[in-house]
Amino acid sequence: MKKILLGTTALVSLFAGAAFAEAPTVTVGGSIDFQAGVAQQKATYETGANSRDGKFANDTRVDVKVAGKADNGLAYGANIRLQADTSSPNDDSGLNADRTFIYVESNAGRVEAGSNLGVAKSMKLDASTFARASGGIDGDWYRYANDDIGGNGVSTYILTPDLPTDAGRTERGDSDNATKVSYYTPRHNGLQLGLGFTPDTGNRGTAQSFTSKSDVGDFGNVWEGGLNYAGKVKQIGVGASLTGEMGHAETNSSLGTEDLLAYAAGLDLTYANFTLGGSYGNWGHTGQAVGEDATQDYWTIGGAYVQGPVGASLTYLSSRRDNNDFYNVSLGADYQLAPGLIPYAEVSFFQLTPDDSTVEKNKGTVFLLGTQLNF
Amino acid sequence: MQRLHTILCTSFLILSLLSACTSTESSSDVEKSYPQAPDDVRRDRGGKLNGEGGLFQLGGNSKKNNSSPSLGVNGYLWRATLDTIAFMPLTSADPFGGVILTDWYEDPMAPNERFKLNVLIMGGALRADGVKVSVFRQVLENKAWREAPIGERIGRELEDKILTRARQLRIEKKAG
């Protein structure tokens, strides 16, 4: 009996360590996105870069992905996204790379470390999650519109369904790839957890990027958390998310600045070829002067339909930040002409209403035609 | 507050390092798929010009990253089975009929006992019932090999390991 048990145990144990080392691979790919955009907005704001109604833009990136597997089953690798534009990249950072990080992955989860998007951005669900074309309410409309309304160059609106560290400070999204460490659990029965830490939202990349711990607008010791669920109830696909972030506000102002504390919750439902979804996000008093008590929140709602190579979506975002109101309705469609070749069209109707009643609001329409090539 | 942050950071780093260690095989209701950046998701759903291999690829086994060769059965199950029983000598492997037969194998750690597997891969879908493993066991008695009993559990455990490996291959291929 013992021999039988030993024998069968030995047989199974021979298969138990089924972790096979795989030689590392380096994959080079990327995308090119060409856009033609026409914007109509208040004449007051058709100045500078917004003085021409019709414009062309080209956004190019090269992705280098390294992936390997050790003998003990540990997966590891790196992702490097290089900007390959003939100008400053879209985030106006002037940097050569947008994201660079390494990762390790095992049965216990995945750890990412580097300049990358964090847990709150990657785990959230909202109407932009299923938006087509350039991304609807989280798309490229804003590159053709003047959103510096009454803000003196500082963003005073919540223009995208993001929490503060992903929405950026003076530019859209300029702190969303601050150097950080993130951990994700495997998905157990549809549920996944994420946790991330960023020492300073103003630091990105090498030691050359180190900034003061008292830079107004930056946050220090930022923790991000996320909970994401993906499953099915009867024939309906259900996706839900809850994300949040907290941190210390860096300031050298005698007025003081409220610390970072924000959260967002989202829900997406899919049935047949249709998807409906929405979200609500609240920034609390993040970044406000101590004693200020103005609302900072947003909500989204939208729907999409996909049939074969064609997809269409209608998405809506409404936000308020320190009595600066914003809304955007975006209708978009795309068509997979061939694998990796996707022409698209999108129209967005937006309005920015500043708190200061002496400042004119900006209301307009942005129409985009574009083609994306992924390789 | 600073000390609390230090403690939390240290705990998080320790947790991260521990998570890098492998553990026992996970149950079948665990998926190892991880979030992507929203713009990556948007781009990936349109497909890629050269498939998952990108513009070009260096290193590794390029054959693994191409689309599966023409098989009569599910390519992931086929490859997972070959990976899982790679240490046993094969007598026959029919990729169209989905049948893999091994020769008798005697583990050096367990002499006077040998095993043989018949693996049947059914259909083109990666399904829990898509692979059937039959295990045969013989023991050496009086210098002759004689059939010996073996529990049904062994066959099911081997099927689970093949299915787990097949899912890993599919996730790796999707992850690019």
pLDDT tens for residues A196-229?
A: 999 998 888 778 777 777 777 788 999 999 999 9
- The reply to whether B85 touches chain A by the CB within 8 Å rule is yes
pLDDT for B24 beyond 70: no
pLDDT in tens, B148-167: 988 878 888 899 899 989 98
pLDDT in tens, A112-150: 999 999 999 999 999 999 999 999 999 999 889 887 776
What is the total residue count of chain A?
Answer: 375
Residues of chain B by 3-state class (helix, strand, coil), percent to 5: 40, 25, 40
pLDDT for A56 beyond 60: yes
Find the CB nearest A23 among B38, B47, B61.
B61
Percent of chain A's residues with pLDDT above 70: 87
pLDDT in tens, B58-73: 776 544 433 344 567 8
Burial of A366 (0-12, 13-18, 19+ CB in 10 A): buried
pLDDT for A12 beyond 60: no
Confidence of residue A22 (pLDDT cuts 50, 70, 90): low
Q: Decide if B21 and A186 are in contact by the 8 Å CB cutoff.
A: no
Q: What is the predicted pLDDT for the residue at B11? A: 52
Looking at the complex, report in whole angstroms how far the Cα of residue B78 sits from the nearest Cα belonging to chain A.
15
Angle between helices B75-84 and B152-175 (to 10 degrees): 120
Q: How far, in Å, CA of B119 to CA of B134, rounded?
A: 6
SS3 B161: helix
Alpha carbon A2 to its chain's center: 58
Contact B138, B144 (CB under 8 A): no
Q: What is the predicted pLDDT for the residue at A186? A: 94
pLDDT in tens, A297-309: 999 999 999 998 9
Q: Decide if A192 and B35 are in contact by the 8 Å CB cutoff.
A: yes
SS3 B56: strand
Q: How far, in Å, CA of A163 to CA of A147, rounded?
A: 18
Confidence of residue A151 (pLDDT cuts 50, 70, 90): low
pLDDT for A320 beyond 90: yes
Q: What is the predicted pLDDT for the residue at A193? A: 97
Q: What is the mean pLDDT of chain A?
A: 86
Q: What is the predicted pLDDT for the residue at B52? A: 67
Confidence of residue B12 (pLDDT cuts 50, 70, 90): low
pLDDT for A185 beyond 90: yes
Contact B112, B137 (CB under 8 A): no
Quote ipTM for the complex. 0.79
Q: What is the predicted pLDDT for the residue at A101? A: 95
Question: What is the number of other CB atoms lying within 10 angstroms of the CB of residue B29?
Answer: 9
Mutate to test the interface with A, among B33, B48, B150, B173 (most CBs of A within 10 A): B48
Copy the structure tokens of residue A242.
């809850």
Looking at the complex, report in whole angstroms how far the Cα of residue B40 sits from the nearest Cα belonging to chain A.
10
Q: How far, in Å, CA of A122 to CA of A203, rounded?
A: 20
pLDDT for A92 beyond 70: no
A104 to chain B: closest CA residue? B20
